[in-house]
Amino acid sequence: MKDFKRYTITSALPYANGPLHIGHLAGAYIPADIFVRFLRMNNKEVAFVCGSDEHGAAITIKAKKEGITPQEIIDKYNAQIKESFEQFGISFDIYHRTSSKIHHELSQEFFLNLYDKGEFVEKYSEQYYDEEYHQFLADRYIVGTCPNCHNEGAYGDQCEKCGTSLSPTDLINPKSTLSGKTPVLRETKHWYLPLDKYQAWLEKWLLEGKKDILKSNVYGQCSSWLKSGLQARSMTRDLDWGVDVPLEEAKGKKLYVWLDAPIGYISATKQWALDTGKDWEKYWKKQENPADDACLIHFIGKDNIVFHCIIFPSILHAHGEYVLPENIPANEFLNLEGDKLSTSRNHAVWLHEYLADFPGKQDELRYVLTSILPETSDSEFTWKDFQARVNNELVAIFGNFINRVLVLSHKYFDGKVKAAGELSDKDKLVLSELERYPKTISSSLSQYRFREALAHFMNVARLGNKYLADEEPWKLIKTDEDRVKTVLNIGLQIAANLAVLAQPFLPHTAEKLFQMLNFQDRDWTAAGNPNLLENDHQLGEVQLLFEKIADEQIDAQLAKLAQAKVDNAKTQTSTAEPAKANIAFDQFTPLDIRVGKILTAEKVAKTKKLLKLTIDTGIDQRTVVSGIAEFFNPEDIIGRQVSILVNLEPREIKGILSQGMILMAEDADGRLDFVAPQSNIQPGSIVR
């Protein structure tokens, strides 16, 4: 990674419509915080900014559900999220709000800059309008059937099952989330950012310029979007909550949240600069000498890749005065106990609840989440694994080594660091390895490989543990006190290095260890030094670094998740989706549904949700593209019987002609299963 003097680090702005859960931490905030702490230890100028995303349809939907105002929603959750971050130790320079005056003004300045340059395309278009609520419907106020994968719960901007970007008019059988009724189309005017205009520039800047820089998962998603061809996207909305469009002719309209939200990074930096006497432009704007430009890095989850890699850079490029992101190290999704995290189903580990249930154990969660970060593919958190990693790694390896070396030093030498004598070959080898580790960890962190960096860090603790176990100073003390002085000196130097190296990963633990060693924190250049603690240095009081997690604590957490499933099942039963309107028998009879058999199955390239199936329908063999890849492995469904609608008009999906649709059952959790005969039936048999 290129070395910069100044860094601007952002973490995705969390929606202020609910609390934080561990998926948020693993997606953006833990890796960002590790990286920022590492930069600061290397004496870099850093602005680490974040804030609540307090506009958009998600906020107003939440407010309507709870019967309160959007302002009450954002005030409640901004305070809760901010407190959770502070308790967890995320080291933002500022945690700001997009509802602030400085943010509204800056967002409007951005809009007017692009407007005055003629960057927007003004369009009259027909958009959905809810006649009962007397308002136009933002994308997230409309749900319907995805034309791609036939998911009936797709939103008006995106299908969250197959990932297809949509417009509300693409949906089949659209419904308003406000009234539940079918909306009507009415004409309205909006201002569009012509992303197609920036296609060639994006291909050069992103696909060519960052091919060897971006993570494979990020590059792949961006490449897929650009190859599909970009289209103009509206930068304004007909909403009653958000940043006003600063045009006389646009009264009542608001800026699209994905125009104003990323500008929240800039307005947060601007507020921080005002509060601290800094120059915010040095962190965001191009400098006279390009070598003085700041390095902008966005830490986000996979669902925000397109916005940070394509839309926001296009806005910055069109403006012209701002630096562009150097990197966007996005993570994939974190699953929980064999299922997807779900806020609506309460299937989550909420951060504020964890902090209450496990007081003082912030670093334990930081450690476990860092060790399983979904860096290039989805990963999973389980409570049993959490317990095992804490007990078998933090307690048994790291904590055990620190406790041993400090307790023995107090017992034998009154807590003083004794001078080392002549070093053995084993001593020299251990110190050589100690010197090597900071460079190895630094290399991993610079390449955003945080799991790898943490593993190297723990190897330093393993090095110390093994050294003490091999040398057995508790036995040597009976025959060779001078040798014990050397062994404990080296052990304490390893402990001091662990305190230095722990600061990015486990800041609370590092602080505790510095106190026990009676040793001031050091920057990264100190790491690897075999003489951090001077001869006759007086050590502090010994404490346990970590405590074991008891079975009862884990059982309580598993019981909480199980109860959430029970509660959710009750809710599902009482709020089952009502039956659709009656139809005549003659409307049903044209559907030709047959029993089919899956002959082949393979993933569709550059998609995560689609499978290409070859199905024996009894009348022919045909290709069907189905959005079931997240529920079934291709090799597991070959030979399965299915129900297939064979007279559905063929449709091209991702360049593949799909000739039918297989019938799937979907539960309230969004899980899919085949609608199929219970016993073997001849392909081609009619489903009546």
- On whether 146 is known to bind a ligand per the annotation, the reply is yes
User: DSSP letter string over 446-491?
Assistant: HTT-HHHHHHHHHHHHHHHHHHHHHH-HHHHTTT-HHHHHHHHHHH
Q: How far apart are CA 307 and CA 303, in angstroms?
A: 9
Question: In 25-120, at which residue ranges do the beta strands (DSSP E only) sit?
Answer: 45-52, 94-97
First and final CA of the chain: distance in angstroms?
A: 63
Closest CA to 314 of 168, 167, 203: 203
Which amino acid is it at 637?
I
Query: Quick check: 202 and 88 in contact, CB under 8 A?
Result: no
Give SS3 for 144. strand
Query: Quick check: 389 and 367 in contact, CB under 8 A?
Result: yes
Which amino acid is it at 669?
D
- List of residues 6+ apart from 181 with CB closer than 8 A: 130, 131, 132, 175
- On whether 162 is known to bind a ligand per the annotation, the reply is yes
Residue 129, strand partner residues: 136, 184
Residue written as tokens 């004409």?
187
Angle, alpha carbons 516-518-522 (nearest 5°) = 105
Work out the number of other CB atoms within 10 angstroms of the CB of residue 606: 14
In terms of Cβ atoms closer than 10 Å to its own Cβ (0-12, 13-18, 19+), residue 135 is middle
Question: In 266-331, at which residue ranges do the beta strands (DSSP E only) sit?
Answer: 295-299, 325-327
Work out the number of other CB atoms within 10 angstroms of the CB of residue 632: 17
Residue 350, strand partner residues: 21
What is the Rg, in whole angstroms, of the alpha carbon atoms belonging to the chain? Answer: 29
**DSSP code of residue 210:** T
Residue 10, strand partner residues: 49, 298
Closest CA to 149 of 618, 683, 612, 679: 612
- On whether 614 is known to bind a ligand per the annotation, the reply is no
Q: How far apart are CA 433 and CA 427, in angstroms?
A: 10
Q: What are the two backbone dihedrals, phi and then psi, of residue 651, each rounded to the nearest 5 degrees?
A: -145, 135
Give SS3 for 59. helix
Give SS3 for 247. coil
Q: Which residues are annotated as a binding site?
A: 146, 149, 159, 162, 343
Q: Which residues are annotated as a binding site for Zn(2+)?
A: 146, 149, 159, 162
Q: Which residues are annotated as a binding site for ATP?
A: 343
